[in-house]
Structure 1
Amino acid sequence: MSALTETRPSSVLPTDLTIAAFFEWLEGQPRRFELVDGAPQMQPFVKRSHSRIVGNLDHMLQTQIDRSAFLVHQGDFAIQTGPRSIRYADIMVEPAGGPPGGRTTDSAVLIVEVLSESTAPEDFGPKRVEYQALKALQTYLVVDQETPRIWQWDRGYDGKWSAHATIVTAGAVKVAALACDLPLDEIYFGIPSAANNSQD
Structure 2
Amino acid sequence: MALPVGVPILSPEEYLRWETTQPEKHEYVGGEVFAMGGASRRHVTIAGNLFAALDETLLGTPCRVYMADMKVEIAAKSSFFYPDVFVTCHPDDHRAELAMHHPVLVAEVLSPSTAAYDRGDKFIAYRRLPPLKEYLLIDPDQQQLELFRKGSDGLWVLHDFAPGQTLQLASVEAMISWERLFRNVD
- Output the TM-score relative to the length of structure 1: 0.84
> Does 2:43 match 1:50?
yes
- Matched-pair contact (CA < 8 Å) for 2:16–2:98: no
The answer to whether residue 28 in structure 2 is matched with residue 41 in structure 1 is no
Query: How far apart are residue 96 of structure 1 and its match?
Result: 4.5
Asked if 2 retains the 8 angstrom alpha-carbon contact of 1:108 and 1:136, the reply is yes
- 1:67 is displaced (CA, Å) by 4.3
Q: What fraction of aligned residue pairs are identical, expressed as a percent?
A: 24
Letter in 1 for 2:184: G
Determine if contact 1:68/1:96 at 8 Å carries over to the other structure: no
Q: In the alignment, is residue 189 of structure 1 matched against residue 183 of structure 2?
A: yes
Residue 27 (structure 1) aligned to one of 3, 20, 23: 20
- Provide structure 2 residue ranges, at least 5 long, that are not aligned to the other structure: none
Structure 2 residue aligned with 1:126, among 74, 99, 121?
121
Deviation at 1:52, TM superposition (A): 0.5
How far off its partner does 1:110 sit? 0.3
Count of residue pairs the alignment pairs up: 180
The aligned counterpart of 2:139 is 144
Structure 2 distance, partners of 1:37, 1:67, is: 37
| Residue of structure 2 equivalent to 1:95 | 89
d(CA) in 1 for partners of 2:86 and 2:154? 20
Show the counterpart of 1:158. 153
The runs of 4+ residues in structure 1 deviating greater than 3 Å are none
SS in 1 for 2:91: coil
Q: Is the 8 A contact 2:138 2:144 kept in 1?
A: yes
Give the partner amino acid of 2:169: V
State the Cα distance separating 1:101 from its structure 2 match: 4.4
- How many angstroms apart in 1 are the aligned matches of 2:172 and 2:104? 8
Within a 5 Å distance, the mapping from 1:75-90 to structure 2 comes to 75-83=68-76, 84-90=78-84
Query: C-alpha distance in 1, partners of 2:5/2:180?
Result: 40
* Distance (Å, rounded) in 2 between the aligned partners of 1:45 and 1:33: 11
Letter in 2 for 1:178: V
**1:175 aligns to what?**
169
Q: 1:62 aligns with which of 55, 72, 79?
A: 55
Between stretches 93-102 and 124-133, larger displacement belongs to: 93-102
Distance of aligned partners of 1:92 and 1:20 in 2 relative to their CA distance in 1, 3 Å threshold: same
**Structure 1: gaps spanning 5 or more residues:** 1-9, 193-200
- Residue 195 of structure 1 corresponds to which residue in structure 2? none
Aligned partners of 2:72 and 2:99 also within 8 Å: yes
Who wins on radius of gyration, i.e. which is larger?
Answer: 1
Question: What is the CA deviation profile of residues 134-166 of structure 1, one whole-angstrom value per residue up to 9, with x for unaligned ones?
Answer: 10001001101123201110000222212xx22
Structure 1 counterpart of 2:13, one-letter code: A
- For the residues of structure 2 that align with 1:12 and 1:156, how far apart are their CA atoms? 40
Rate the CA distance shift 1:92–1:11 in 2: closer, same or farther, 3 A.
Answer: closer
| RMSD across aligned positions (CA) | 1.6
